[in-house]
Amino acid sequence: MDNNGWNNGQNQYNQNQNPYEQNSYGQNGDRGRNGSGSSPMGITSMVLGILSLVLTCCCYLLSIPLGISAVVFGIVSIRKNEAQRGFAIAGIVTGALGFVLSVTLFILARYLISTGIYGNMLNEFYHDLGIDYEHMLR
Summarize pLDDT for 63-101 with one digit per residue, the tens: 999 999 999 999 999 998 877 889 999 999 999 999 999
- Asked if residue 123 belongs to a domain, the reply is no
Q: What is the mean pLDDT of residues 48-74?
A: 93
Judged against a pLDDT cut of 80, whether residue 136 lies above it is answered with no
For residue 87, is it within any domain? yes
What number of other Cβ atoms are within 10 A of residue 67's Cβ?
30
The verdict on residue 4 lying in a domain is no
60 vs 110: CA distance, rounded Å? 13
Tell me, yes or no, whether 94 lies in a domain.
yes
pLDDT, the chain, mean:
80
CB–CB of 91/69 below 8 Å?
no
Look at residue 49 and tell me if it is in a domain.
yes
What's the structural domain count of the chain? 1
Residue 53 sits in which domain range?
39-113
Q: Is residue 106 part of a domain?
A: yes
- Calpha distance 43→49 (Å, rounded): 10
In a domain, 16, yes or no: no
Q: Residue 83: its pLDDT value, please?
A: 79
Region 109-137: mean pLDDT is 83
Other Cβ atoms less than 10 A from the Cβ of 96: the count is 17
Which pTM was predicted?
0.63
82 in Cβ contact with 32 (< 8 Å): yes
- Residue 47 in any domain: the answer is yes
